[in-house]
A and B are shown apart, each in its own frame.
Chain A
Amino acid sequence: MRDTTISRRELLKGTGALVISFSLLSPLSRAFAQGAGATNLEPEATSLDSWLAVAADGTVTVSTSKVDLGTGVVTALSQIVAEELDVPFHSIHMETGDTAQTIDQAATVGSATIARGGPQLRQAAAAARQELLKLASAKLQAPVEKLTVSDGVVTVAGDATKKTSYAELIGGKRFNVKITATGTGGGMKVAPEVIAKDPKNYKIVGTSAPRVDLPPKFTGEFIYTADVRVPGMLHGRVVRPATVNTKPTSVDESSIKNIAGVVKVVQEGNFVGVVAQTEWAAIQAAKALKVTWSAPEHKYPSTKEEVFDYLKNTKSARDQAVVSRGDSDAAISQGGKTFEATYHWPFQLHGMLGPSCSVADVQANAATIWAGSQGTFNTRRQVASLLGMPEKSVRVIYREGAGCYGRLSPDDVPLDAALMSRAVGKPVRVQWMRDDEHGWEPKGPAQLLSVRAAVDGGGKVAAWEFVDRSFPWTENGNPLLAARQVGHDATSTGNGNGNGGGGQIYRFDNQKVVASMIPWVWPDPMPLRTSNLRAPGDVARCFASESALDEIAALLRVDPVAFRLRYLADQRIIDVLNAAAKQARWNARPSPGTASGGSKVTGRGVAVANRDETMTAAIAGVEVDRASGKITVQRVTLAQDCGLIVNPDGVKNQIEGNVIQGVSRALLEEVKFDASGIKTLDWVSYPILHFPDVPEIDVVLVDRKDLPPNGSGEPSLVPVPAAIANAVFDATGVRLREVPMTPERVLAALKAGPQSSELLPRV
């Protein structure tokens, strides 16, 4: 199947009218083409037509820059629009992530699509409904107040013979109506003055509508980025050094002269790639091409110990006080007893199952890019900047990639494809190989987390100090690889190490929670470059803070759930914790439990989290084999409150996935490296959870119809590793303060024995 969304020659000439055969038009253009005719004007947020169109057959096409990353969020957005318009769910068609057809509502990141993109589309739909009722009122000669809508049919109350439909009113025609739209991106307010439906009348939102994308994904009919084929397309592969910005001192083209079908070795600055007629020729050539790279100018960390020492000893670029209450320093120095612990979190991969892929068609004055980017407008900006073109000359068309969990913001590969396409003057498809992806994906960074607490004579936590020392979630300035290699600094897409912390969900009289951002000192990106990894930072922060709290509860011989309830301040978290405990039939008692005499021991642990106002509680049941050190997570109960639930099964699906990914990251995942680069370049050296080790999962949804819907793509991952660590302690009496909790670490901890049986007296 060929991707024929766009006829590049016509569309990109930018001169004269569009001459595109009907079948090549996108749905939005198609809807219009039946009426007023298509144009290639850039969509404007203040035009209702930019957001949605009703076709003659009643199909509603909605345009949004928000994209489905495999989470099902586009199905949920469809429900929101169908609900507001009062049309059948299946009549909604979503046109997503095409920069020529959509308004930039910001990239699809941070579980913000439902919370922020949702209201934008809802209000656009409400504005459309208002307009449609005006038209119906005129046509049916009845006041708007007397009109009711069901399944896109407008009827006059009390007279069923007087009716019309959205399709009759506007089908194939433009609204030509201006709406209010202020602000930009995720913060844009769209038609805020239009009154939307009262959630208590919702019929479509709140149901488990089946995902629109799934059926073709089970048959091979779905078109992923990797499936895009355009006429005349060649295949490219990148040739990367161990550390970027080392220079190719020699490229020996004779080394690949025996490979038939090689079109060109592309070398531009320090970028090297190979373009060939066939994919196999490109793969072979990229592998065989003899490139001598200069030695790196800087000495990179060669062990994880060096990384943690670096985090510990380097001056932070920014200290963000997340919570500052009372005087924790004074309280700790005056407190009855103190607790101190340090926790380590490793570099981890997003680990997209399908590696980065993009198709680029770069012409003299325009370019078309097919990409799986989370933010196609970001990619457009980066490609335009690299190619020295105005942004409007670059069109980025979204096609879904493999699940990416933050990896495709930033998306590197469109630049690789653009460079190679420009060099050969033809469309080029570039797919990274597995070692490119494992080696060069920007990684979830290591974190060093420390907790100090004081407990007073009454066994109350009097002070809590939590410090997260970590790298920016996105590499400083976030340059894309190829941009760096050609000496071009692509536009920054931001950095930072988040604004979360550890233990701020609890209220202690004296409390200090700090996020310290530690920058890399090296000017060049290195294989340990970073980007947001699902619930960035919060997973490690929760691991540390919820482990520490558990440790204190154990030292005080208090049940872990009861101990948390003493200090939790937010009723919504209290509710999810209670819901999880009830569902898991939590047996209230202090940890550790009484271990049996055998090799295999079991335990349960709990952790709670608030990730951007979605509340989660996890209870893990584990078995630890004391002989082998292997941890088996048997069951996880996960309770979540994400406000009003748009699609319960969609939310459950996300939670199940987060739990499994959380178990995988907690038990197995660690990027290994030395000064010359990444050593975990495949799925054997970087294992993820396999089918036989997947736990049973029990999801409890706490539906809050009184609250706006909030994100669900990330939050339920956050408490999982902490709950597992606490369960391992409950089972064994030993505490693992470093992830992943591998058999080797379990055995070492068992050998070392319990860390201490008492809180330390003040010294």
Chain B
Amino acid sequence: MAAITLTVNGKSRTVNTDPTTPLLYVLRDDLELNGPRFGCGLSQCGACTVILNGAAVRSCTLPVSGAQGKSITTLEGLGSVAHPHVLQKAFVEEQAAQCGFCMNGIIMNAKVLLDKNSNPSVADIKQALANVLCRCGSHLRVIRAIQRAAREKA
């Protein structure tokens, strides 16, 4: 066990944990952040995605020690129902989900995409989400929501 200090959604948080613990479990169980989700534990589905120093990373396989000193943003860090991020708002407007379990991965990857490319094409969006899985089949709505967010952000 070790004391590990993380910067999560702009705040400094210290947890006492096994440093090999994947970041996901620290975020969920120690910090009670439900945005990042366990889908596979294998970096295959994307449900656990967080933004680490501007890059989308899969927190289910990243040891928490590797996140020390870096800026971590989770879905909660984007916004809330009361004060939604432009992406979250666009997803509501497009009704872009069914069960919503994959939405963390989709929105976090979309955030990184829009930060780099303010006007992505459909092909850009599909490429950015190529390895994020959605089982319910909300893909087309997701694409529309990201396009809407890009428009409204502009």
**A-B complex is real:** yes
Please tell me if B39 contacts chain A, counting CB pairs below 8 Å.
Answer: yes
Residues of chain B within 8 A (CB-CB) of A213 are 100
Report the contact-size class of chain B (Cβ under 8 Å from the partner).
Answer: 35 or more
Please tell me if A176 contacts chain B, counting CB pairs below 8 Å.
Answer: no
Q: Are B137 and A70 in contact (CB under 8 A)?
A: no
A490 CA to B103 CA, complexed, in Å: 35
Q: Are B98 and A278 in contact (CB under 8 A)?
A: no
A222 CA to B37 CA, complexed, in Å: 12
Q: Are A217 and B100 in contact (CB under 8 A)?
A: yes
Q: Are B34 and A227 in contact (CB under 8 A)?
A: yes
- Contact flags B100-129 to A (C-beta < 8 A → 1, else 0): 111110010000000000000000011101
Residues of chain B within 8 A (CB-CB) of A215 are 81, 84, 88, 92
Residues of chain A within 8 A (CB-CB) of B136 are 70, 353, 403, 657, 661
Residues of chain B within 8 A (CB-CB) of A659 are 137
Report the contact-size class of chain A (Cβ under 8 Å from the partner).
Answer: 35 or more
Interface residue stretch chosen among A99-107, A523-531, A684-692:
A684-692
Please tell me if A152 contacts chain B, counting CB pairs below 8 Å.
Answer: no
Nearest Cβ on chain A to B27's Cβ, whole angstroms: 10
Q: Are A400 and B140 in contact (CB under 8 A)?
A: no
Q: Are B135 and A353 in contact (CB under 8 A)?
A: yes
Q: Closest residue of chain B to A692, judged by CB?
A: B126
Please tell me if A402 contacts chain B, counting CB pairs below 8 Å.
Answer: yes
Contacts A217-B97, A219-B80; is A354 near B44 (CB within 8 Å)? no
Partner of A226, one of B37, B80, B97, B103: B37
Q: Are B98 and A70 in contact (CB under 8 A)?
A: yes
Residues of chain A within 8 A (CB-CB) of B137 are 656-661, 694
Q: Are A219 and B100 in contact (CB under 8 A)?
A: no
Interface residues of B in 29-69 (CB under 8 A from A): 29, 32-35, 37-42, 44-45, 47
Please tell me if A263 contacts chain B, counting CB pairs below 8 Å.
Answer: no
Please tell me if A456 contacts chain B, counting CB pairs below 8 Å.
Answer: no
Please tell me if A69 contacts chain B, counting CB pairs below 8 Å.
Answer: yes
Residues of chain B within 8 A (CB-CB) of A690 are 130-131, 133
A69 CA to B100 CA, complexed, in Å: 10
Which of A216, A217, A659 is most buried by chain B, counting CB atoms within 10 A of its CB?
A217
Please tell me if B150 contacts chain A, counting CB pairs below 8 Å.
Answer: no
Contacts A69-B99, A70-B99, A278-B21; is A353 near B134 (CB within 8 Å)? yes
Q: Are A433 and B41 in contact (CB under 8 A)?
A: yes
Please tell me if A492 contacts chain B, counting CB pairs below 8 Å.
Answer: no
Residues of chain A within 8 A (CB-CB) of B80 are 219, 221
Q: Provide 20 A-B residue pairs closer than 8 Å at the C-beta atoms, listed in order of the A residue.
A: A214-B92, A214-B95, A217-B103, A218-B75, A219-B75, A219-B79, A219-B81, A219-B84, A222-B34, A401-B101, A402-B39, A403-B101, A405-B135, A431-B38, A434-B41, A654-B98, A690-B131, A690-B133, A691-B126, A697-B140
Q: Which positions in A face B, CB cutoff 8 Å?
A: 1-2, 69-72, 210-211, 213-224, 226-227, 229, 235, 260, 278-281, 283, 351-355, 400-403, 405, 431, 433-434, 649, 653-654, 656-661, 682-684, 688, 690-692, 694, 696-697
